[in-house]
Amino acid sequence: MLQASVAVMHWRERPEGGNRTWLLIIRWMILHIGRSTAWFFMFPTALYFFLVRTDERRASKQWLQQVQAPLQGYPGVLRHIFTFAMTIVDRVLMLSARDAELDLQAEGLEQLNQSLQKGQGCLLLGSHLGSFEAIRALQRHAPSGNQIKVVMDRQQNSLITRVMEEINPDISNTVIDARQSGPIIVIEAAQALAEGAIVTMLADRIFRHEASAEVSFMQRPTRFPLAPLGMAAALDVDVFVVFGLYTGKGCYKVIFEPLPRPATRPGTRHEKRLQLQQWVALYAQRLEYYARRYPYNWFNFYDYWNTDRDAVTDPGSYQQQ
């Protein structure tokens, strides 16, 4: 691992890989020639990124060693990058409503639907483990009227986002901009939930100075954002973790799993803080559980444990972020 004294670039400051022309070519291949042709061209694409993206290559190698993946070293890194590349390919099919060409198997969908039948929406907590886009592909299985709203930063990986939104411009209407202030995000999410929508958020990365909790992840102290579960607690909605895990050959396992609150009913502010931290720890446990089983689906290509040591740790301040 890099030493703590070495300056580490924040994940939001990492330069975006790829270029628009190549992305457009790959998109055209997928939509007009087929996934198998794009699959072939992903080999040189993955090799290119393996050769030129030193930091990502190092981070992948460290991750695979940390999680004790079956295939490690440079062969494992190539497989890791190729897995990510294929989820980008399949994202094109999902956004163009051609996910029938893929094999998407859902687990826990019945429990999710039961929660939605209460008349209120729910919060889905995702991560950079697997394909978050697979959730959209399963929207047709949700009860009628349950729209999906995604809290996301459209400026992060803006090139890929723009190219993808050109396939289906309507998806921009389902986005809650994560670069807004915390209170505005909560208000927009609360309105969507009151209308029975499914609000989805990624909960495995923190921004600079964001309120966070330090919990155990992969047997190491790791900070996770407090805002997602803090918002769920404030709005009193059901929470599920969700993973769209790529298992190879166009197959995905989309898992919905309830994330119940810790049993203790909070009273004082201190008790609320402890309960929120316990809830975050439970999320980290479920993330670790699936990350160990699907290590090549981990798409945090940076030194996950060596950034943002100056983040806020007061759970009560999440609403100000």
In tens, the pLDDT along 55-104 reads 999 999 999 999 999 999 999 999 999 999 999 999 999 888 888 899 99
Residue 188 has pLDDT above 80, yes or no: yes
Give the mean pLDDT of 297-304. Answer: 95
User: 45 vs 181, which has greater pLDDT?
Assistant: 45
Distance of CA 247 to the CA centre of its chain: 17
Give the closest residue to 32 by CA, choosing from 87, 96, 128, 107: 96
Question: How many Cα neighbours within 13 Å face the side chain of 168?
Answer: 17
Residue 312 has pLDDT above 50, yes or no: no
Give the mean pLDDT of 124-147. Answer: 79
Residue 159 has pLDDT above 70, yes or no: no
pLDDT tens string 35-63 = 888 888 899 999 999 999 999 999 999 99
Rounded distance, CA 112 to CA 239, Å?
A: 9
Residue 120 has pLDDT above 80, yes or no: yes
CA quadruple 191, 244, 92, 32: dihedral sign:
negative
Give the mean pLDDT of 300-312. Answer: 71
Report the pLDDT value the prediction gives residue 132, as an integer from 0 to 100.
85
pLDDT band at 162 (very low <50, low <70, confident <90, very high): confident
Report the pLDDT value the prediction gives residue 5, as an integer from 0 to 100.
33
Rounded distance, CA 176 to CA 184, Å?
A: 10
Residue 18 has pLDDT above 60, yes or no: no
Rounded distance, CA 135 to CA 35, Å?
A: 20
- Sequence-distant (6+) residues with CB within 8 A of 152 are 175, 176, 177, 178, 202
Rounded distance, CA 122 to CA 113, Å?
A: 10
Report the pLDDT value the prediction gives residue 47, as an integer from 0 to 100.
95
Q: Which two tokens stand for residue 139?
A: 């929207």
Bridge partner residues of 149 (DSSP) = 199
